[in-house]
Amino acid sequence: MNEAKDRIKAFLNRFFRKAELQDHDDIFALGYVNSLFAMQLVMFLEKEFGVRVDNKDLDMKNFSSINAICEFIERKAS
Amino acid sequence: MTNESVGTKVRQKVKCVVWDLDNTVWEGVLLEDVNVSLREGIVDIIKALDSRGILQSIASKNEHKSAMDKLEAFGLAEYFIYPQINWNSKSSSLSAIAGSINIGIDTLAFVDDQPFEREEVNFVHPDVLCLDVTELPGLLDMPEMNPRFITEDSKNRRQMYMSDITRNNLEEQFVGTQEEFLASLNMKFTIAKVGEGDLQRAEELTVRTHQLNTTGYTYSYEELDALRQSDSHLLLVSELEDKYGSYGKIGLTLVEMNDNVWTIKLLLMSCRVMSRGVGSVMINHLMHLAKEAGATLRAEFVSTDKNRMMYVTYKFAGFKEIQEEGDYVLFENDLSSLQPLSPHVTLVVEP
């Protein structure tokens, strides 16, 4: 899953200036999560990993950090 | 769909008129005659539509530079945004225009003297209102071309879209993260209670906005006037400004306050500010207000094929579904985690 993690990191780096976003950093706590980013993240995950993010998946817990996103993608893909 | 159902369908007000050039805006074919002359009365129509806040563009099969030079010489170039002057099909030019402006294709009208072009557009986009030049004398009187109100925002609409084009070009050329770009804009988001002078714009927003609209509930001028004076409602208008100028009054929010339960009945933002992420700023503000008042915050939502972004916005702001019925969802937020205000936006709350 390291390859998936790298792709997610690369995507997040287009948004966040904080150069070293750690795998467990809470991206919501950084204050940069806005409606635009949220939608772009969901669309990125759907396109990049071929998963369908349902309304019930849109729980902040699933997207709060790089680790959380990776785990979510693994769950959806399995 | 049968012809009958098309005929009875309530037509959207036209947001953008797309013009052909040869034998439509001007008499003659530019490639054959550089001295074409303007169609009689065309300037009055173009200026009248502009003053009503109806945008205009071009779909013409021509050489881009010579056609633009000719429009410039006629003093008309500034009236058209995202002109499509190329050899592509007109239907693809219309798609490009609707996409660039970010409005629905069903809000376009297309004027062309050639039946072939109108049929081609009609075949690909049956919801576009296609008009022949013979219909021009009655065009300004058509109900589709008459917005119910003409507000300050509608009069300045073209200018505001022009500023958007400048911003978008800068964003494309910007080297850095999206966060840095947003930070460079010096955005100021102002929230105020809807005043009497805002009512027309407020009604216009409920009718015009689809993508960034949580419920699609529409309210008439009279209803909005009653709601703004009601003690059990909060009716807010929001405005966005950045270093390139104002986007105008772009947001409307209605909250119903019953005892200790606040319900967001409507939250909408003009699609022009979609890429600015300010929907979250509004929701965040309401979360803080509700928390201070010790109220429970709920939000109604009606899913459409266009408003998924607002669903995602609520969910990412910590709202959870407590009731679902078909397309209708009732959210609740326990207000346990308030996110800090975005560092890119200065929030001004008018008393």
**CB-based contact (8 Å) between A33 and chain B?**
yes
- Picking from A47-61, B64-78, B117-131, B185-199, which range would have the lowest pLDDT averaged per residue? A47-61
Q: By CA distance, what is A53's nearest residue in B?
A: B312
Determine contact, residues B322/B332, Cβ cutoff 8 Å: yes
Residues B263, B158 share a domain: yes
Interior angle at CA B204, CA B201 and CA B209, nearest 5: 120
The two tokens of residue B38 are 């303007």
Residue A29: predicted pLDDT: 78
The predicted model scores a pTM of 0.77
| A36 or B230, which is more confident | B230
What average pLDDT does range B221-227 have in this prediction?
Answer: 94
Residues B104, B79 share a domain: yes
Domain range spanning residue B136? 12-145
Q: Which of B87, B115, B145 is the last residue in one of the domains?
A: B145
- C-beta atoms of A28 and B281 within 8 A: no
- CATH for B177: 3.40.630.30
Q: Is the pLDDT of residue B8 over 50?
A: no
Which residues 6+ apart lie within 8 Å of B298 measured at CB? Answer: B261, B262, B263, B264, B322, B330, B331, B332, B333
Nearest C-alpha of chain B: how many angstroms from A2? Answer: 23
| B333 or A32, which is more confident | B333
- C-beta atoms of B177 and A33 within 8 A: no
Residues B168, B200 share a domain: yes
For residues B159 and B157, give the distance between their C-alpha atoms in angstroms, rounded to a whole number: 5
Residue B160: predicted pLDDT: 87
Domain assignment of residue B7, yes or no: no
Which segment, A16-20, A54-58, A62-66, B95-99, is predicted with the most confidence on average?
A: B95-99
- Give the pLDDT band of residue B177 (cuts 50, 70, 90): confident
Residues B107, B233 share a domain: no
Reduce the secondary structure of chain A to three states and give it as a string: CHHHHHHHHHHHHCCCCCCCCCCCCCCCCCCCCCHHHHHHHHHHHHHHHCCCCCHHHCCHHHHCCHHHHHHHHHHHHC
Residues B124, B221 share a domain: no
Chain B residues 42-101 with CB within 8 Å of chain A: none
CA distances from B219 to B50, B252, B258 (A): 26, 11, 20
Residues B334, B206 share a domain: yes
Residue A18: predicted pLDDT: 62
Domain assignment of residue B233, yes or no: yes
Q: Which of B93, B125, B145 is the last residue in one of the domains?
A: B145
SS3 call for B269:
strand
Nearest to B147 by CA among B79, B81, B218, B204: B204
Q: What amino acid occupies position B242?
A: D
Domain assignment of residue B5, yes or no: no
The two tokens of residue B150 are 């003409």
From the list B179, B281, B309, which residue is nearest A32 (CB)?
B179
Q: Is the pLDDT of residue B1 over 50?
A: no
Domain assignment of residue B259, yes or no: yes
Q: Which of B145, B160, B186 is the last residue in one of the domains?
A: B145
Residues B324, B180 share a domain: yes
What average pLDDT does range B35-46 have in this prediction?
Answer: 96
- C-beta atoms of B177 and A34 within 8 A: no
- Give the pLDDT band of residue B17 (cuts 50, 70, 90): very high
From the list B179, B321, B329, which residue is nearest A17 (CB)?
B179
Determine contact, residues B193/B253, Cβ cutoff 8 Å: no
Q: What are phi and psi of B134, to 5 degrees?
A: -65, -15
- CATH for B77: 3.40.50.1000
What average pLDDT does range B126-134 have in this prediction?
Answer: 96
Domain assignment of residue B70, yes or no: yes
Most distant CA pair in chain B: distance in Å? 73
Which helix H or strand E contains B290, and what residues bound it? helix B279-293
Mean of the per-residue pLDDT values of chain B:
91
Q: Is the pLDDT of residue A52 over 50?
A: yes
What average pLDDT does range A45-68 have in this prediction?
Answer: 90
Residue B178: predicted pLDDT: 79
- C-beta atoms of B311 and A55 within 8 A: yes
Residues B141, B159 share a domain: no
Residue A17: predicted pLDDT: 66
Which helix H or strand E contains B18, and what residues bound it? strand B16-19
Which residues 6+ apart lie within 8 Å of B29 measured at CB? Answer: B22, B23, B36
For residues B323 and B260, give the distance between their C-alpha atoms in angstroms, rounded to a whole number: 18
DSSP B10: P
Q: Is the pLDDT of residue B162 over 90?
A: no
- C-beta atoms of B309 and A39 within 8 A: yes
Residues B31, B137 share a domain: yes
Q: What's the structural domain count of chain B?
A: 2
Domain assignment of residue B122, yes or no: yes
CB pairs under 8 A between A and B: 75
For residues B15 and B34, give the distance between their C-alpha atoms in angstroms, rounded to a whole number: 31
Domain assignment of residue B75, yes or no: yes
**CB-based contact (8 Å) between B338 and chain A?**
no
Which residues 6+ apart lie within 8 Å of B331 measured at CB? Answer: B298, B299, B300, B301, B314, B319, B320, B321, B322
Residues B337, B196 share a domain: yes
SS3 call for B51:
helix
**CB-based contact (8 Å) between B321 and chain A?**
yes
Domain assignment of residue B1, yes or no: no
Mean of the per-residue pLDDT values of chain A:
85
What average pLDDT does range B198-220 have in this prediction?
Answer: 90
Residues B268, B204 share a domain: yes
Q: What percent helix, strand, coil does chain B show, rounded to 5? A: 40, 25, 30
Residues B185, B36 share a domain: no
